[in-house]
Amino acid sequence: MSPEPVPLRAPERRADRARHVADVLRQQIHAGAFDDALPAEAALSAEFGVSRNTVRDALALLKDEGLIERAPKIGTHVARRKYDHGLDALLGLKETLRGHGEVRNEVRAARRVTPPPAVARKLRLEPGEQAVYIERLRWFGDLPLSLDLTYLVPDIGDQVVTRDLETNDVFALIEQISGGPLGSAELALEAITADAHSAMTLQMPEGGALLLLERLTSLEDGRPVDLEYIRMRGDRITMRGSLIRPPERSPDADPGTDWRLT
């Protein structure tokens, strides 16, 4: 019996082709594939097998994102790149960006608070027990990169706030105080839009893209000690990680339930 013919679909629109080209070029820009100038339109047209008008549309998308600059007789040049933030290792921002530049922290708050019940449960605090709350605006050079809200268990947090918070990652301070390494973290990452306060603090347009990371970090013995809500500029940070597929999977397993980062 001959197989069923594949149903015909409508031809791909130019806007779809332009988006595909833009997606590939965007990642090449972030990966440093272009020292400064992008290839000419004719070269990109041949590389992607699309018309020059499609290439122009793709470059217009990247220009609107602020990633490239274009000018007649000068060509197309990279305006800025994003910084990679790994999802496959438990690192602070200063550790993550080591080798790229200096991270400094503007400490906006550091005090004991009675945390919301949901926070207390995650940190395994008794009802009414206080936590130490730290809020930091984290700068990379002259760029405000993230706004970090941190809740710490009191026995560690009380000591963390006596240390140099302006130049250290909280992770490094926790390990100094606890005398042992951090073990693991549970995290959730989602895209949100910048509210007026966050946008003003991070010097970005209101409604711009933010990455919101919730991260609950535990010591090596499994005790949770640090709960963070981190707002990162989506126009300057790319989250990266490696995924492996488990060796055995049920045919009817939910495809979104047992991927893991490695």
**What CATH number is given to the structural domain containing 24?**
1.10.10.10
How would residue 98 be classed by pLDDT, with cut points 50, 70 and 90?
A: confident
Task: Judge if 54 and 144 occupy the same domain.
Answer: no
Q: How many domains does the chain have?
A: 2
Answer yes or no: is 4 within a domain: no
**The predicted structure's pLDDT at residue 25:** 94
Query: What are the tens digits of pLDDT across the range 48-66?
Result: 999 999 999 999 999 988 8
Q: Are residues 147 and 107 in the same domain?
A: yes
Owning domain of residue 40 = 14-78
Confidence of residue 261 (pLDDT cuts 50, 70, 90): very low
- Per-residue model confidence (pLDDT) at position 35: 84
Q: Tokens 């070029």 identify what position?
A: 25
Q: Are residues 114 and 192 in the same domain?
A: yes
Mean pLDDT confidence for 209-232: 96
User: Token digits for 251?
Assistant: 């045919």
- Is 226 in contact with 136 (CB distance < 8 Å)? no
Which residue, 50, 33, 30, 29, is CA-closest to 41? 50
My answer on whether 23 and 91 are in the same domain is no
Residue 170: φ, ψ to 5°: -60, -35
Beta strand ranges found along 114-261 (DSSP E): 131-140, 143-152, 182-193, 209-219, 224-233, 237-240, 243-244, 260-261
- Residue 193 falls within a domain, yes or no? yes
96 and 195 in a single domain? The answer is yes
Which are the contacts of 192, defined by CB distance < 8 A and separation ≥ 6?
210, 211, 212, 231
How far is residue 54's CA from residue 261's CA, in Å, rounded to a whole number?
A: 36
Q: pTM of the full predicted structure?
A: 0.79
pLDDT per residue as tens digits for the range 150-168: 999 999 999 999 999 999 9
